[in-house]
Amino acid sequence: MKGWHNESYRHSLAARGIKTRWPTEEQFIEHHRTGFILSDAYDKYSTSEGIAWLGGSEEYPHLLKTLKIDGENIEIRIKLDENRYVKTDANENIVRDEYGMAVYLTDVEVKEKGYSEYNPVIVAFNESGNPIGFASNEWGASGVWVITEYQKKGVGFELLKALRKYFKEEQRMGQMTEAGEHLTRSYYRKLSKEESL
């Protein structure tokens, strides 16, 4: 499994008592789940209308993958917004320029600190051009939503897999709804299967 060999990842797991080279499914879940969210918390995202605010595919210039689901082509597309970080001094105070404006880290400083350079927003679109699911960085957590009619068809897995490429391997996924835990378990099983090939 990608990242399981990463030393800092293994150390973060060892701190929670997980010392095996490969995690069991339960160890994987316990590592990544930081808490629970009620399943109805995201009901507004259960329909295409509820996620229409994402806009159209033209706003997501990079095609990552095309899936064939029930005879329909589903496009997984991404846009990358550049992250900007405010520079702080040794006392964690914001560094300001001569006009009192906050100074931002340079690209080199961002890389040196190991911060994420981009904030990805990944969206799945059906053949009608409507968004049917999305994945994004939710304040450091992996947020994935798929509208009801496209759930359990592989869309969530592809969104999560694409999103996790932009996280440090040891970074935990975050709080989960019941559906989110099911998706994470599916993600674990598929990654385990890919790793064993």
Residue 22 lies in a domain: yes
State what percent of residues in the chain have pLDDT above 70: 86
pLDDT at 41: 83
Q: Is residue 28 part of a domain?
A: yes
Query: pTM of the predicted model, to two decimals?
Result: 0.74
Question: Is residue 42 over pLDDT 60?
Answer: yes
C-alpha to C-alpha distance for 156 and 146, rounded to whole angstroms: 6
Token pair, residue 58, equals: 């033209």
**Secondary structure E strands in 23-106:** 33-36, 62-69, 72-82
Q: According to the model, what pLDDT value does residue 13 have?
A: 56
- The residue range of the domain holding 13 is 1-36+170-197
- On whether the CB atoms of residues 154 and 69 are closer than 8 A, the answer is yes
Given a cut of 90, whether residue 59 has pLDDT beyond it is yes
| 3-state SS, residue 67 | strand
List pLDDT tens digits, range 135-151. 988 877 788 999 999 99
Residue 90 lies in a domain: no
Weakest-pLDDT range from 27-31, 76-80, 124-128: 27-31
Q: Is residue 160 in some structural domain?
A: no
74's CB contacts (< 8 A; 6+ apart) are 66, 67, 68, 124, 125, 126, 127, 132, 150, 155
Using an 8 Å Cβ cutoff, are 180 and 159 in contact? no
Average pLDDT score over residue span 61-82: 95
Which pLDDT value is given to residue 16?
Answer: 59
pLDDT band at 114 (very low <50, low <70, confident <90, very high): confident
Q: What is the mean pLDDT of residues 107-136?
A: 92
Specify the residue for token string 């990463």. Answer: 6
Within-domain flag for 108: no
**Does the structure show a pLDDT above 70 at 2?**
no
- pLDDT: is 191 or 61 the higher one? 61
Q: What is the pLDDT of residue 54?
A: 96
Q: Which residue has the higher pLDDT, 75 or 35?
A: 75
SS (H, E, C) 108-177: HHHHHHCCCCEEEEEEEECCCCCEEEEEEEECCEEEEEECHHHCCCCHHHHHHHHHHCCCCCCCCCEEEC
Domain assignment of residue 15, yes or no: yes
Does 3 have pLDDT greater than 80? no
Q: Give the residue-averaged pLDDT of 117-141.
A: 91
Within-domain flag for 79: no
Q: Is the pLDDT of residue 45 over 50?
A: yes
Residues 23-33 have a mean pLDDT of 88
- Domain count along the chain: 1
**Residue 14 within a domain:** yes
